[in-house]
């Protein structure tokens, strides 16, 4: 015989119902009591757009491309995120920094194009782990829904965080209320 | 009558091997192969007089020979020490050797900038491989690293002196492969650097081979500079009818585009045939080459990632079961993606791509 998992198992019998049972009223009252009891218990859901659940500190959402404190892009297009990506969602193209671009890019080489295909991304965070330059982070933002697939190919304009020197307001806004955390969102919209 | 070459018995890491007289310990170890062969950063079997500079191939000789069984007092550089009959050598079985090698790697990395994310050699760099095996996680060096003024070695070869480990391979290549060497090591000690003294372009027909022999990223191909990472390109063996060299090369392709041409390398990372500059720098079209097939890449190398060997694609059954209709594409990635645009021919640009490379095609 199969071992019962709980002790709440009840024997089912097919005896004809008694008069009291045929009235159904005690059963209905018992059921209603359960319903009413739940009305005063803590709700499992939240009123989403107004109220948001706190993220866990290891939450992995949309990617951002980081800048350093001088506002230069940190990414050097080393390709380690792309090679670490199990979904092959990341592609990039590198270019050499020219004279006069030193305030834009931190290193000699930079990613002229950087794309993440959010349709492929599985938000595993391996790109973040692989990055030797602290350039890519997974933020605390969900990928927004879209009607077409085209909107899910995120390029550098979508991913880069606002420049902390050039556009401090946008940077502060993007940082959000969680101070002292990693940049929480690049998408200021 | 030609004298018969005497064969000597050597035991390396308890594995016996017979080598002709005059061989070095390193050559004997390479005959055995595998982990027994000591790493070599400066020794190059195709270059005369190479070796003895980097000290990564240190081994312990626990028995000198049958005639004189005393062990050698110090670790010896295996690329420069000849074998004796009955010699017993310890490489990876000796803790002294491994400890010394860790120290050598630490010294080699003292002035190394560790700019692998930028360096084009990353992925096929011998120093990178060596430090993964023997290197420490952190550095104990607290002082300023050596820096150098930038020298330009002509339109094709980029010199990053900060990455150089002074192995002298490129000097010997220029000396022995080309007719007339224009560069060398200037200065002594900490000031030693590879340079041409007066800013001079290296323009010999075979000077491109210094790129292949360089064990680090000090000498890199300017026509490939920053074009792509090595492990995203696909190596294929190819040849062409070249009047100056044998023309047997490896093409590093992205799609049909030839991003880089190098000589074919053997299992020790040494070139099989020297190739000329025309093959290396100027033949960047797939139509210039007769492709033989994909190159053999060690499966532990990052270059082998995503390159499937013996792949059998399943037959496409969609159209067969849907009355000949092809599947409906919901999105063509190439219509949206800005990466790998067909109008940006990276292989056609002589130098590295710049912001202008990608800007101009946005307008068109």
The domain over range B7-107 is classified in CATH as 3.10.20.740 = yes
Task: Look at B338 and A83 and tell me if their CB atoms are within 8 Å.
Answer: no
The domain over range B126-137+145-221 is classified in CATH as 3.30.70.20 = yes
Beta strands in A85-155 (DSSP E): 90-96, 109-117, 136-138, 153-154
Contacts of B145 (CB under 8 A, 6+ apart): B110, B111, B112, B113, B162
Task: Look at B232 and A82 and tell me if their CB atoms are within 8 Å.
Answer: yes
pLDDT at residue B363 greater than cutoff 50: no
Separation CA B167–CA B50 (nearest Å): 8
Our CA-based measurement puts residue A126 at a distance from the nearest CA of chain B, in whole angstroms, of 16
* Residue B50 CB-half CA count within 13 A: 26
pLDDT at residue B312 greater than cutoff 60: yes
Residues A61-85: what's their mean pLDDT?
Answer: 93
Separation CA A134–CA A67 (nearest Å): 9
Quickly tell me which residue has 């800013």 as its tokens.
B199
Phi, psi of B125 (to 5 degrees): -95, 130
Residue A178: per-residue pLDDT: 57
B125: burial class by Cβ within 10 Å (0-12, 13-18, 19+)? Answer: buried
Tokens, residue A173: 């806004």
Residue B127: per-residue pLDDT: 94
Separation CA B156–CA B158 (nearest Å): 7
**Chain A interface residues (partner B, CB cutoff 8 A):** 76-80, 82-83, 91-96, 98, 101, 107-109, 112-113, 115, 117, 132-133, 148-150, 153, 155
Separation CA B361–CA B364 (nearest Å): 5
Quickly tell me which residue has 């005059």 as its tokens.
B22
Which residues of chain B make contact with A90, given a CB cutoff of 8 A? Answer: none
Q: Pick from A109, A133, A155: which is nearest to B338 by CB?
A: A155
pLDDT tens column, B5-36 = 889 999 999 999 999 999 999 999 999 988 89
Residues B257-281: what's their mean pLDDT?
Answer: 92
Quickly tell me which residue has 């107004």 as its tokens.
A50
Task: Look at B358 and A95 and tell me if their CB atoms are within 8 Å.
Answer: yes
Task: Look at A91 and B353 and tell me if their CB atoms are within 8 Å.
Answer: no
Separation CA B202–CA B153 (nearest Å): 6
Residue B359: per-residue pLDDT: 74
Our CA-based measurement puts residue A132 at a distance from the nearest CA of chain B, in whole angstroms, of 7
What percentage of chain B has pLDDT greater than the value 90? 56
pLDDT at residue B239 greater than cutoff 60: yes
Which residues of chain B make contact with A94, given a CB cutoff of 8 A? Answer: 226-228, 352-353
Write down all domains in chain A, each with its CATH number in brackets.
63-175 (3.30.70.3270)
B35: burial class by Cβ within 10 Å (0-12, 13-18, 19+)? Answer: exposed
Which residues of chain A make contact with B115, given a CB cutoff of 8 A? Answer: 107-108
What percentage of chain B has pLDDT greater than the value 70? 98
* H/E element, A158: helix A156-159
- Place A187 in a pLDDT band, splitting at 50, 70 and 90: very low
Which residues of chain A make contact with B231, given a CB cutoff of 8 A? Answer: 79, 83
CB A131 within 8 A of CB A92: no
pLDDT tens column, B98-134 = 999 999 999 999 999 989 999 999 999 999 999 999 9
Short-list B302, B305, B265, B267, CA closest to B34:
B267
pLDDT tens column, B150-178 = 777 888 899 999 999 999 999 999 999 98
pLDDT at residue B348 greater than cutoff 90: no
Which residues of chain B make contact with A117, given a CB cutoff of 8 A? Answer: 333, 337
Which residues of chain A make contact with B351, given a CB cutoff of 8 A? Answer: 96
Which residues of chain A make contact with B358, given a CB cutoff of 8 A? Answer: 93, 95, 112-113
Tokens, residue B190: 């900490």
- Place A177 in a pLDDT band, splitting at 50, 70 and 90: low
Our CA-based measurement puts residue B237 at a distance from the nearest CA of chain A, in whole angstroms, of 23
CB B93 within 8 A of CB B12: no
Q: CA A69 from chain center: how many Å? A: 25
Separation CA B173–CA B158 (nearest Å): 16
On average, the pLDDT of chain B sits at 89
Separation CA B278–CA B183 (nearest Å): 20
Separation CA B278–CA B261 (nearest Å): 10
CB B86 within 8 A of CB B65: yes
* H/E element, B236: strand B234-239
CB B243 within 8 A of CB B212: no
Pairing of strands B234-239, B290-294: antiparallel
Task: Look at B333 and A153 and tell me if their CB atoms are within 8 Å.
Answer: yes
Task: Look at B229 and A83 and tell me if their CB atoms are within 8 Å.
Answer: yes
Residue B12: per-residue pLDDT: 94
What percentage of chain A has pLDDT greater than the value 70? 93
pLDDT tens column, A88-141 = 999 999 999 998 999 999 999 999 999 999 999 999 999 999 999 999 999 988
Question: Which ranges of chain B would DSSP assign to H, the alpha helix?
Answer: 25-32, 95-108, 126-134, 169-176, 209-213, 277, 318-321, 333-336, 355-363
Which residues of chain B make contact with A95, given a CB cutoff of 8 A? Answer: 226, 352-355, 357-358
Per-domain boundaries in chain B: 7-107, 126-137+145-221
Task: Look at A107 and B118 and tell me if their CB atoms are within 8 Å.
Answer: yes
Separation CA B280–CA B277 (nearest Å): 5
ipTM score of complex: 0.83
Q: Higher pLDDT residue, A154 or B307?
A: A154
Task: Look at B357 and A80 and tell me if their CB atoms are within 8 Å.
Answer: no
Residues B273-285: what's their mean pLDDT?
Answer: 92
- CA distances to B18, B111, B195 from B59, rounded to whole Å, are 18, 25, 32
pLDDT at residue B346 greater than cutoff 90: no
Quickly tell me which residue has 């940190």 as its tokens.
A74
pLDDT tens column, B199-231 = 777 788 899 999 999 999 999 999 999 999 999
Residue A75: per-residue pLDDT: 95
pLDDT tens column, A1-37 = 678 788 888 888 888 888 888 889 999 999 999 999 9
Residue B124: per-residue pLDDT: 92
Residues A147-170: what's their mean pLDDT?
Answer: 90
Residue B360: per-residue pLDDT: 56
CB B247 within 8 A of CB B240: yes
CB B237 within 8 A of CB B266: no
CB B349 within 8 A of CB B357: yes
Residue B97: per-residue pLDDT: 95
The total number of residues written for chain B in this structure: 364
Based on C-alpha coordinates, what's the Rg of chain B? 24
On average, the pLDDT of chain A sits at 87
| pTM exceeds 0.90 for this model | no
Residue A79: per-residue pLDDT: 93
Q: Pick from B330, B354, B358: which is nearest to A113 by CB?
A: B358
Q: Pick from B116, B122, B339: which is nearest to A113 by CB?
A: B339
């Amino acid at each position: 015989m199969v071992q019962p998992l709980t002790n709440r198992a009840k024997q089912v019998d097919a005896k004809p119902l008694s008069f009291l049972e045929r009235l159904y009223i005690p059963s209905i009252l018992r059921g209603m009591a359960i319903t009413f009891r739940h009305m005063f218990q803590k709700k499992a859901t939240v009123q989403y757009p107004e109220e948001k659940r706190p993220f866990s500190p290891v939450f992995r959402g949309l990617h951002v491309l980081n800048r350093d404190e001088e506002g230069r892009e940190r990414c050097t297009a080393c390709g380690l995120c792309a090679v670490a990506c199990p979904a092959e969602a990341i592609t990039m193209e590198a270019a050499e920094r020219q004279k006069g671009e030193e305030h834009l890019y931190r290193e000699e080489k930079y990613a002229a194009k950087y794309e993440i295909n959010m349709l492929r991304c599985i938000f595993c965070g391996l790109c973040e782990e692989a990055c030797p330059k602290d350039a890519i982070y997974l933020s605390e933002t969900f990928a927004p829904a879209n009607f077409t697939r085209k909107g899910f190919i995120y390029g550098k304009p979508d991913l880069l965080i606002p420049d902390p020197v050039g556009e401090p307001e946008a940077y502060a806004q993007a940082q959000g209320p969680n101070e002292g955390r990693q940049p929480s969102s690049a998408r200021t919209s | 009558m030609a004298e018969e070459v005497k064969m000597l018995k050597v035991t390396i890491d308890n594995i016996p091997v017979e080598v002709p007289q005059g061989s070095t310990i390193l050559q004997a170890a390479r005959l055995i192969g595998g982990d027994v062969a000591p790493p070599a950063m400066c020794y190059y079997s195709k270059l005369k007089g190479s070796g003895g500079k980097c000290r990564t191939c240190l081994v312990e000789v626990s028995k000198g020979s049958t005639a004189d069984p005393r062990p050698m007092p110090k670790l010896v550089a295996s690329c420069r020490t000849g074998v004796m009959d009955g010699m017993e050598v310890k490489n990876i079985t000796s803790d002294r050797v491994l400890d010394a090698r860790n120290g050598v790697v630490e010294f080699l990395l003292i002035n190394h900038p560790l700019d692998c994310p930028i360096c084009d050699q990353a992925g096929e760099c011998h120093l990178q491989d060596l430090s993964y095996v023997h290197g420490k996680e952190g550095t104990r060096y607290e002082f300023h690293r050596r820096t150098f003024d930038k020298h330009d070695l002509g339109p094709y070869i980029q010199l990053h002196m900060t990455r150089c480990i002074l192995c002298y391979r490129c000097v010997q290549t220029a000396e022995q492969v080309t007719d007339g060497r224009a560069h060398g090591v200037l200065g002594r000690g900490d000031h030693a650097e590879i340079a041409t003294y007066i800013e001079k372009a290296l323009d010999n027909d075979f000077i491109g081979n210094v790129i292949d022999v360089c064990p680090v990223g000090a000498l890199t191909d300017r026509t490939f500079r920053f074009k792509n990472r090595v492990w995203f390109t696909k190596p294929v063996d190819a040849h062409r009818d070249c009047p100056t060299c044998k023309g047997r090369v490896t093409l590093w392709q992205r799609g049909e585009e030839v991003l880089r041409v190098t000589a074919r390398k053997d299992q020790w990372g040494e070139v099989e045939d020297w190739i000329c500059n025309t093959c290396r720098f100027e033949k960047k079209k797939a139509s210039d080459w007769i492709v033989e097939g994909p190159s053999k890449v060690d499966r532990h190398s990052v270059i082998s990632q995503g390159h499937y060997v013996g792949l059998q694609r399943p037959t496409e059954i969609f159209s067969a079961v849907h009355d000949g209709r092809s599947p409906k594409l919901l999105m063509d990635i190439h219509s949206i993606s800005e990466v790998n645009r067909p109008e940006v021919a990276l292989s056609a640009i002589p130098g590295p791509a710049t912001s202008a490379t990608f800007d101009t095609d946005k307008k068109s």
